[in-house]
């Protein structure tokens, strides 16, 4: 997970660099196109052509539309804001995911999680500073990116009921490449050799980040690996300082800490809720003397 977060941070920094000279749809296209290489490797390791079988092709297409929208908004927020500020705002996505899970997934949200959402939005307000210098187009785009990312996570959860992770990742990469390619005739700047190299690196690093993210969730429960995602604020602060001499202000750091704390609380409560849902099934098995999954076979 730490390798994944580092790779995503490098991708974000490259996207911010490239957005200064190239249209965002072009940056998104090369990010997706070169990510096909790691995605194909994931496919080969995850079952080969059999993993391409799906009965929800439109679901993958819809997930790609939402994910591509989130990607472009995220890249735009990097262009309009200091990198650390934009990343701090992106951490609000779990708050919107919690809210959207009620009408779209039919999930129940208890008072603790609603309280965490409320506290998290206080952190968001501290970051964007309504009425202050931060509350501008960049802040609005950053919040929009977090909302669209939450919708993408909803789509992934729905697909995850029947689809393998490698299948979802591969179709997202293919469809986002094709969708962004449609806009290239209307927004194209021929990249220099240096720019093309940065775009290729961005795509490869982004695809690699997705691979390590997937492996992290295979190797350990979400409650173990998810908190490490917040280490991204450290890399964003470092890259922002080294490349653009940006230093996050006290409001951004305080707001980010509050948003991160609320996200961890939501993660903890959701993990407990799932454990409680499984417990009624586990208890009868334990009472029957099957203390291990392989107890019947010795």
Average pLDDT over residues 192-206: 95
pLDDT of residue 49: 80
- State how far the Cα of 273 lies from the Cα of 276, in Å rounded to an integer: 5
Q: DSSP per residue over 36-97, as a string?
A: HHHHHHHHHHTTGGGGG--S-HHHHHHHHHHHHHHHHHHHHHHHHS-HHHHHHHHTTHHHHH
pLDDT of res. 132: 57
Mean pLDDT of the residues in the chain:
85
Give the CA angle between residues 52, 58, 63 to the nearest 5°. Answer: 90
For position 223, what pLDDT does the model report? 66
What domain range is 247 assigned to? 2-297
- Mean predicted confidence (pLDDT) in 180-189: 93
140-156: per-residue pLDDT in tens? 899 999 999 999 888 88
**pLDDT tens per residue across span 224-253:** 777 888 889 899 999 999 999 988 888 888
pLDDT of residue 205: 95
Give percent of the chain above pLDDT 70: 89
Tens of pLDDT, residue by residue over 23-57, are: 999 999 999 999 999 888 888 887 778 878 888 89
Model confidence at 278, in pLDDT bands (50, 70, 90)? low
For tokens 């790779």, the residue is: 7
Q: Report the number of distinct structural domains present in the chain.
A: 1
- pLDDT score, position 219: 79
**pTM of the full predicted structure?**
0.83
Please give the pLDDT value at position 297. 37
Task: Please say if the pLDDT value at position 261 is more than 70.
Answer: yes
Predicted pLDDT of residue 15 = 95
What pLDDT score does 295 carry? Answer: 36
């Amino acid at each position: 997970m730490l390798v994944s977060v580092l790779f995503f941070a490098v991708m974000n920094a490259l996207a911010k660099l490239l957005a200064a000279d190239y249209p965002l749809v072009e940056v998104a296209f090369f990010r997706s196109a070169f990510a096909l290489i790691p995605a194909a490797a994931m496919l080969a390791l995850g079952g080969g052509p059999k993993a391409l079988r799906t009965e929800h092709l439109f679901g993958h297409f819809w997930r790609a539309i939402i994910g591509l929208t989130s990607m472009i908004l995220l890249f735009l927020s990097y262009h309009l804001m200091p990198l650390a500020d934009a990343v701090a705002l992106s951490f609000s996505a779990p708050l919107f995911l919690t809210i959207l899970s009620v009408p779209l997934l039919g999930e129940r949200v208890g008072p603790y999680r609603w309280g965490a959402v409320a506290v998290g939005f206080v952190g968001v307000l501290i970051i964007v500073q309504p009425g202050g210098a931060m509350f501008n187009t960049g802040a609005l785009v950053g919040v929009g990116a977090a909302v669209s990312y939450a919708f993408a996570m909803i789509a992934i959860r729905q697909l995850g009921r029947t689809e393998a992770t490698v299948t979802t990742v591969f179709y997202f990469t293919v469809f986002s490449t094709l969708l962004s390619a449609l806009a290239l005739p209307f927004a194209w700047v021929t990249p220099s050799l240096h720019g093309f190299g940065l775009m290729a690196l961005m795509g490869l690093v982004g695809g690699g980040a997705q691979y390590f993210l997937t492996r992290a969730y295979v190797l350990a429960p979400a409650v173990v690996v998810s908190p490490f995602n917040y280490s991204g604020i450290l890399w964003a602060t470092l890259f922002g300082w080294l490349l653009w001499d940006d230093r996050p202000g006290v409001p951004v750091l305080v707001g980010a800490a509050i948003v991160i704390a609320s996200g961890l609380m939501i993660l903890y409560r959701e993990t407990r809720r799932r454990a409680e849902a499984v417990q009624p099934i586990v208890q009868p098995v334990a009472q029957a003397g099957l203390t291990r999954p392989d107890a019947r076979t010795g």
